Amino acid sequence: MTAGPYSAKVMEHFMNPRNVGEIDGADGVGEVGNPACGDMMRLYLRIEEGRVKDAKFRTFGCGAAIASSSMLTEMIKGKTVEEARAVTNLQVAEALDGLPAVKIHCSVMAEQAVKSALDDYAKKHPG
Amino acid sequence: MAKVFFDHISTTPLDSRVFEAMKPYLLEWYGNPSSHIHDQGQAALRAVDKARSEVAALIGAKPGEIVFTSGATESNNLAVLGTAEEAGNGKRHAVVSGIEHFSVMNALIPLRNAGYEVTVLPVDRDGLVDPDAVRSALRGDTALLSVMHANSEIGTIEPVAEIGRIAREAGVPFHVDATASAGHIPLDVREVPADLVTLSSHNFYGPKGTGALFVREGTKVAPRVFGGFQEMGYRAGTENVPGIVAMAAAAAIASKEMGHWADHLGRLGKMLWDGLSGIPLLHFTGHPTKRLPGHVSFWVEHAEGESLLLFLNVKGIMAASGSACSSNLRGQDEEDLVASPVLRAIGVPSDICTGSITFSLGKGNTEEEVRLALDALPRIVERLREMSPTYLDYQKRMSQGG
């Protein structure tokens, strides 16, 4: 493949996204973004014993949005809830070998999706 | 892997005959037309004169009405700003269609800053400008009317002959940006009462960096580039002789062959259009019949434009999109991502997820390439939809009988 606007890592995740789908009866669901702005991500988490046991996503968006979603699910799987909440957009972008400046907001969307899903989890599992 | 270029609206490949025509003016005849006492300069001057006649012939103009420029952007800037400046005291109003190119739209910024009023004409859902709306927009103080011949994104061909007659009656200089259409469909300034017409070499199989502005005899245009006396005083600077020779060669070829190209592209375009009609939630844009040959544009729901382009490119198919996400990947931040104003002008809803695609075919494309695209696109759309939360919701709504 010829070099496009994205890193090889972004293209690899865009072409073969990990963890696409839903989790029935997910412990936490987060939804961020807005299709009118070009992208939207929904993240489903299965949480067992304080750890992210499974993560699935569905994303409408550009190459960077899909790759960020895919990379994020890989990064948070196995992490404790606290560790997952601490994942930053820059870590996602870095793991993808960088994103164009105009696409940094896609990694921000991924970070916000985890926080949103964990907030949902916290609401459903108080205490 | 197959390389299928379906983005001829952005640029066209150089015709090899054009390359052969320009080659001597790169290597052998490098003279400057302004230094024409010696043989080198004479050869260059004669070549530019001959080129002017050939480019004029493409649109039925007189040679003296062709001003060579660096391309369509410069021609559009010259037409808009040069005409406004010459319009005289009190004429501080401009009228343009809402789907003009950035090089027309953004040329209005300094005019607005100088206190000009600008009327932007709406277009209908097919992208057509209503001649009656033009008639009511023109006023005694209107300095300029600009309506393009054909739109690059949605392919619609505007009724420029009728609009031109209205402008003529009102005594308003009429500029037609023919960047997307020239060399592909006929445009004859003896029938279309345009006073200024923009032409772009690389949009009809010539090289980049050369364009022209037709300035009808008697039309007043102030220069934008100052210096020597080249181009009848309209545009200073040493002529791009190889580019001008090449543009003329491309114009001469197009004059002869455009009918044949249009037949070929019309067939391929229909094949593509028919094949795409089978994709659910796909909406064609632009006028169904008044459109550039071989130009097929549409938007699909629940798949984003840049993702569609990336997947198509992986399959070796190169196309364009008006979606914001693919608009400016070299920009500084997301503020630099802007959805196409043309899609907004024709009412493509921005509140649902859309991916717009423009397939613009060229004379070198084949049926086999159209089949490749028709094979690839439905799968790509399906794949992206399966990933989209909005499509999931849509399917749930449908299954609940919504």
Beta bridge mates, B196? B175, B215
Q: Which residues of B touch A59 (CB under 8 A)?
A: 387-389
- Identify the active-site residue in A8, A15, A37, A122: A37
Q: Is any Cβ of chain A less than 8 angstroms from the Cβ of B395?
A: no
d(CA B348, CA B354): 8
Burial class of residue B303, CB neighbours in 10 A (0-12, 13-18, 19+): buried
Burial class of residue B120, CB neighbours in 10 A (0-12, 13-18, 19+): middle
State how beta strands B295-301 and A51-60 pair.
Answer: unpaired
Radius of gyration of chain B (CA): 22
* B244 and B309, same domain (yes or no): no
pLDDT bracket for residue B1 (50, 70, 90): low
Domain boundary among B202, B227, B255: B255
Q: Which residues of B touch A105 (CB under 8 A)?
A: 334
* B199 and B320, same domain (yes or no): no
End-to-end CA distance of chain B: 43
Q: What is the CATH number of the domain that holds B389?
A: 3.90.1150.10
* B241 and B349, same domain (yes or no): no
pLDDT bracket for residue B330 (50, 70, 90): low
Residue of B nearest to A43 (CA): B389
Is the pLDDT at A2 greater than 90? The verdict is no
pLDDT of residue A1: 45
* B266 and B251, same domain (yes or no): no
Burial class of residue B310, CB neighbours in 10 A (0-12, 13-18, 19+): buried
* B220 and B76, same domain (yes or no): yes
Rounded mean pLDDT, B210-232? 97
Domain boundary among B225, B255, B285: B255
End-to-end CA distance of chain A: 50
Place of tokens 């010696």: B38
Q: Which residues of B touch A16 (CB under 8 A)?
A: none
Each residue of B16-73: pLDDT tens digit? 999 999 999 999 999 999 999 999 999 999 999 999 999 999 999 999 999 999 999 9
Following CA atoms B375, B377, B379, B384 in sequence, which dihedral angle do they give, to the nearest 10 degrees? 170
Q: Where are the beta strands (DSSP E) in B80-141?
A: 93-97, 117-121
* B195 and B271, same domain (yes or no): no
* B160 and B244, same domain (yes or no): yes
pLDDT bracket for residue B329 (50, 70, 90): low
Q: What is the CATH number of the domain that holds B118?
A: 3.40.640.10
State which residues form the domain around B21.
16-255
Each residue of B110-121: pLDDT tens digit? 999 999 999 999
Binary contact (A35, B352; C-beta < 8 A) = yes
Q: Which residues of B touch A31 (CB under 8 A)?
A: 389
- Which one of A20, A62, A101 has the shortest CB-CB distance to B333? A101
* B30 and B48, same domain (yes or no): yes
Of all helices (H) and strands (E), which one includes residue B311? helix B305-314
Tell me the percentage of chain B whose pLDDT exceeds 90. 88
d(CA B375, CA B388): 21
d(CA B112, CA A50): 60
Mean pLDDT of all residues belonging to chain B? 94
State how beta strands B66-69 and B354-360 pair.
Answer: unpaired
Domain boundary among B255, B275, B294: B255
pLDDT bracket for residue B347 (50, 70, 90): confident
Residues 6+ apart with CB under 8 A from B5: B13, B318, B362, B364, B365
pLDDT bracket for residue B327 (50, 70, 90): low
* B70 and B166, same domain (yes or no): yes
Q: Is any Cβ of chain B less than 8 angstroms from the Cβ of A8?
A: no
Q: Which of B297, B298, B199, B290 shows the shortest CA–CA distance to B248?
A: B199
Cα atoms in the 13 Å half-sphere on the side-chain side of B292:
32
* B213 and B357, same domain (yes or no): no
Q: Which of B325, B354, B122, B132 shows the shortest CA–CA distance to A63?
A: B325
Helix (H, G, I), strand (E, B) or coil at B335: helix
Residue of A nearest to B383 (CA): A15
Is the pLDDT at B261 greater than 90? The verdict is yes
Mean pLDDT of all residues belonging to chain A? 93
Burial class of residue A1, CB neighbours in 10 A (0-12, 13-18, 19+): exposed
* B266 and B243, same domain (yes or no): no
ipTM of the complex: 0.92
Of all helices (H) and strands (E), which one includes residue A108? helix A104-124
Domains in chain A, CATH or no CATH each: 9-120 (3.90.1010.10)
Number of structural domains (chain B) is 2
* B87 and B175, same domain (yes or no): yes
- At A49, give phi and psi (nearest 5°): 50, 45
Is the pLDDT at B402 greater than 70? The verdict is no
